[in-house]
A and B are shown apart, each in its own frame.
Chain A
Amino acid sequence: MDSRAGSLPKAPADSPHPAEAADQDETDAAGATRAAEPAKAHGPGAKAQGPEAKTQGPEATTHGREAGAPAAPAGRSGLAVLKPSSLRALLTGWLVWPLATLILASAVPTYYLALGAANSAYDSALLDPALAISNHVLVQENAVSIDLPASALDALRIDARDRIFMQVRDPRGQMAPGSAALPAPPEDIPEGGHIFYESRLNGEKIRVAALQVPHPAGPVLIQVAETFVKRDTMVREMLVATLFSELVVAAAAVALLWFGIGRGLAPLDRLRREIAARSPKDLRPLSVEDKPGEVQPMIAALNQLLNRLKAAIEGQQRFIANAAHQLRTPLAGLKTHAELARRQPSSVELRPLLEMIAGETGRTAHLVNQLLALARAEPEGSADSNDAPVNLLDVVSRAAQEWVPRAVARDIDLGFELEDAWTMGEPMLMRELLANLIDNALAYTPAKGTVTVRTLKRGHSAVLEVEDDGPGIAPDERARVFERFYRAQGTVGEGCGLGLAIVSEIAQRHGARVEIDTPANGRGTLVRTSFCTVRPGPAGQDEASEGRSPHTA
């Protein structure tokens, strides 16, 4: 989720140029309004919207590009690239940088603590030679000396890593032989006491232990100094060890947080999947249970939106039902009168006019029916699903009643080759799909032609085929005939160009595939609709259909 989210377009607010962002915001909003317009027009005007609905496609695409645009300027700025847009990266980022700063900052006190520790560990060792010498200092009249063999003194100066310097000074300021020129202590030393201090010798940092030894001739100052090698090493080791363990803990914390957020965000991902898996018709509220409290208000808002959408769709449904009634009744009256007028004996001049009125009225009625069917076939057209197990054989058998007389009237041989083929579907839409296929076949097949309706089971598909021996559809036109209001080249039939669009819409809604083929005999058109097959639902239905199955004769 996070890596993908990270590559998503940045919100315009992320843009480093506020003015530019605002501009884009406006363009964006304008684009959205434009895209929304045809959708809005879908409301009351609804049905006669084919071409408009078609132009909506490219426009929507354009809008999509506009919406993506703000990503570019934001992406170009280095700062913006670092700006995480995934919640997980954002939260982790908020942890990582302060944590790193804190760890770095903590190095300073750690250094001084380590230094203190190193000094207290080594200082007493540094004082030891001074104490050892203090018992052997000889102050004579002209000189001060140490009453120890040179080898013993050398032994006191031995150290594995540091160089050690010594200086013994009598009250007159005379140095014992072998003394180094060590700097004087920065403060007074109490009688018989000692101090430690840092100083420099020939530019090199040293730690000095200074001991004041009482002597009859006055206090003798004994100084022992060493370089910082082992102290530095100790400080470094302590610093590294501390920082390392801090870093390990911090890294573990960041990792835990990273995975923890992932786990925490899992309900969001579940929610996304839940929404994505929904059928376009499913407007039921999303469940609030098993979702974290932070997401629940969002779901509640989403559910409100779904409810409003549902109400709007139901309103549209009611409108369609009303429009159907309002349009169909007068059209039925008009059609009846046109037909009656056509049947009256009339003059030669009037005859063709009456024929034309009857024909046009018939076509208008057909168009109204088609548009309503299309509206119903659209996913948003019906709020409730009436999907049920359907046997294509039954759908065709019922339609035969209606279509054979029409085929007879056109002098077309309408025949059937039927086998059981069960699928899930909405019976009324299935009927509409079949009606449009047969209507199309009858419309484009000349008199004396043959139309065959076939149902069969092929593998996992329940197949419905309607085949005619008419002029056929050229291969390069086969994809286009499913477009609304498209009519194949050179067609002369009465079609309004919606039949196959309705077929395709209904098929899509049922997850069925529609293809146009050439019949086995090489002439005409074969439209094949393949539905997913299902086992017949209730056992009774199964038996009933088994009993009737040998329809093929």
Chain B
Amino acid sequence: MNYIKDLQEDSMRVLIVEDDKALADGLLRTLKQSGYAVDHAATGELALRACAEEHYDLIVLDISLPGIDGFEVLRTLRKQQQGGSILILTAHDSEADRVRGLDLGADDYVSKPFSLPELEARIRALIRRSQTVRSPRMHFGSLSVDVVGRQARIGETDLDLTPREWGVLEYLMMRAGQVVSKEQMLQALCSWDDSLTHNAIEVYISRLRNKLQTAGIRIRTVRGFGYMFEDPEAKA
């Protein structure tokens, strides 16, 4: 018995560790349609073998596996400094399991049965994060951003952003499709400007909205809470 390897090269590589055939098949199809190279391992042992041979940008990991369970796989991978993101996908949704998974170094935790669009959004966010490690260029529709060179373009036009606007954009962009609270933004951004206030954030957001308008990017206000940088790739 071996894990199933996708021969497609040059794509983001995802490993699905799931012993339920039907679910694994559904996930394989979904992620392949999204353009990823997807491998499948049905047991913990096979998952570890696959990780020894390949680098994965993302591992979708079930917890209840025959033999070595998901927590053990997670622990081993993190000990080996395996760099990719790990998303736990499990039927156990107790708070203790969730905390344990995240403590062991998982990046996200989704419980079954999940909504496919939600899972896809989370996978996109995780892939994007690990993507910036390999190649610093991110794309959102016609917006392309070079995170290291701090350059953003809409189509062929360079965007002119102040350092503060850049900081806010980067923070939101890295969490596209997710809700971020103003508090989180303030805490993350105040390292370079201690005088940042709620009102200032609102000002930067409004400026960013104007500048990104032509790229069809939408920064949604979550009333009384914060913002959500809408992921243009998300399917309705």
Contact = CB atoms under 8 A, between A and B. Distances in A.
Interface in B9-46: 20-27, 29-30, 33
A333 B23 contact: yes
A321 interface: yes
A401 B21 CA distance: 30
Contact of B113 (A343, A368, A548, A552): A368
Given A329-B23, A330-B20, A416 B112 contact: no
Nearest to A548: B183
A365 B115 CA distance: 10
A404 B113 contact: no
Interface in B114-131: 114-118, 121
A331 B228 contact: no
A551 B180 CA distance: 12
Interface in A47-66: none
Given A404-B228, A418-B224, A427-B95, A553 B20 contact: no
A124 interface: no
A400 B220 CA distance: 14
Contacts of A427: 95
B116 A339 contact: yes
B22 A333 contact: yes
Given A325-B91, A328-B112, A397 B181 contact: yes
A99 to B, nearest CB: 65
Contacts of B224: 415-418, 452, 551-553
Given A401-B179, A551-B181, A332 B115 contact: no
Contacts of A452: 223-224
B82 interface: no
Contacts of B115: 335, 362
A337 to B, nearest CB: 5
A227 B139 CA distance: 135
Interface in A352-374: 362, 365, 368-369
A433 to B, nearest CB: 13
Interface residues of A, number: 47
| Majority SS at the chain A contact face | helix
B64 interface: yes
B228 A415 contact: no
Interface of B: 20-27, 29-30, 33, 62, 64, 89, 91-95, 111-118, 121, 177-179, 181-183, 198, 220, 222-226, 228, 230, 235-236
A337 B22 contact: yes
Given A328-B112, A332-B113, A333-B20, A551 B183 contact: yes
A397 B222 CA distance: 11
A77 interface: no
Interface of A: 321, 324-337, 339-340, 343, 362, 365, 368-369, 386, 397, 400-401, 404-406, 408-409, 413-418, 426-428, 431, 452, 548, 550-553
B182 A553 contact: yes
Contact of A325 (B30, B92, B114, B181): B92
Given A415-B225, A418-B224, A553-B198, A340 B29 contact: yes
A321 B92 contact: yes
Given A333-B24, A415-B224, 12 more contacts: A328-B91, A328-B111, A332-B89, A333-B23, A336-B30, A397-B181, A400-B226, A404-B222, A414-B223, A416-B225, A418-B225, A551-B224
22 contacts: A326-B91, A330-B22, A333-B21, A335-B114, A336-B27, A339-B30, A340-B30, A365-B113, A369-B113, A397-B225, A400-B225, A408-B220, A415-B223, A416-B224, A416-B225, A417-B224, A426-B95, A427-B95, A431-B95, A551-B181, A551-B224, A551-B225
B225 A331 contact: no
B204 to A, nearest CB: 15
Contacts of B113: 328, 331-332, 334-335, 365, 368-369
Q: Which residue among B33, B179, B182 has the maximum number of chain A CB atoms within 10 Å of its CB?
A: B179
Contacts of A406: 118
Contacts of B182: 551, 553
A337 B112 contact: no
Nearest to A426: B95
Contacts of B117: 339, 409
Given A329-B20, A333-B22, A416 B30 contact: no
Contacts of A408: 220, 228, 230
A550 B182 CA distance: 10
Nearest to B118: A405
A524 to B, nearest CB: 16
Contacts of A418: 224-225
Nearest to B93: A324
A360 to B, nearest CB: 13
Nearest to A339: B116
A321 B25 CA distance: 24
Contacts of A369: 113
A333 B228 contact: no
Q: Lowest 7 CB-CB distances: which A-B pairs, in order?
A: A415-B223, A336-B26, A333-B22, A333-B23, A365-B113, A328-B91, A332-B112
Contacts of A431: 95
A326 B94 CA distance: 15
Nearest to A550: B198
Nearest to A325: B91
Q: Which residue among A339, A386, A414, A415 has the maximum number of chain B CB atoms within 10 Å of its CB?
A: A339
Contacts of B230: 408
Contacts of B177: 405
A467 B182 CA distance: 22
A416 B26 CA distance: 36
Contacts of B118: 405-406
A47 to B, nearest CB: 14
Q: Which residue among B111, B177, B183 has the maximum number of chain A CB atoms within 10 Å of its CB?
A: B183
Q: Which residue among A332, A369, A418 has the maximum number of chain B CB atoms within 10 Å of its CB?
A: A332
Nearest to B63: A325
A416 B223 contact: yes
Nearest to B89: A332
Contacts of B93: 324
Q: Which residue among A333, A413, A415, A417 has the maximum number of chain B CB atoms within 10 Å of its CB?
A: A333
A406 B112 CA distance: 17
B223 A413 contact: yes
B222 A400 contact: yes
A334 B20 CA distance: 11
Contacts of A335: 113-116
Contacts of B92: 321, 324-325
Contacts of A334: 22, 113
A201 B74 CA distance: 121
Contacts of A548: 183
Q: Which residue among B24, B26, B228 has the maximum number of chain A CB atoms within 10 Å of its CB?
A: B26
Nearest to B18: A329
Contacts of A325: 64, 91-92
B121 A405 contact: yes
A546 B183 CA distance: 12
Contacts of B220: 408
Contacts of A336: 23, 26-27, 30, 116
